[in-house]
Amino acid sequence: MRQESGQDPASLTRHLRIRQDRGHTVLEFRGEIDIAAATEMTPYLDRVTARDSSLVVIDLRHIEFFDCSGLRLLYRARSRVLERDGRLTLVCTHPLTLRVLRVTGLSRLLPPLATLDAALDQPEATSGTL
């Protein structure tokens, strides 16, 4: 996998690509996000979400499968970012994943946007509250 310039090679896994874009840290989930992938991704997600006032975008456009382990990752990331006065935005276009987000109520906490540009240009926090 090709690295972005200045990218820490340790931050890349088969299921996660991390890069900087317009002041945001973009976590691009890839492939099948199941319990094995979530276990592999958690330390990287925790490192990114440990920063104060971080702007984080989780991009789900490149996933093929997403189960409850993926939902836990999203909820964990959201909680950690909000605890540190940051902002988390979600990008998702996959119809089945969007349905899971709606059915579980997570779409109210993390309203999904259709494009990465829309997420990177968000003027206000999109990490909703109930």
Domains of the chain (ranges, CATH numbers): 11-118 (3.30.750.24)
Looking at the predicted structure, is the pLDDT value of residue 115 above 60?
yes
Dihedral, 47, 52, 57, 62 alpha carbons, nearest 10: 0
Instruction: Please check whether residue 28 is in contact with residue 17, taking contact to mean a CB–CB distance below 8 angstroms.
Output: yes
pTM summary value: 0.85
Neighbours of 91 (CB within 10 A): 21
pLDDT score for 123: 64
Side-chain half-sphere exposure of 86, counting CA atoms within 13 A: 22
Tokens 């690295």 sit on residue? 3
90-101 pLDDT, tens per residue? 999 999 999 999
Amino acid at 38: A
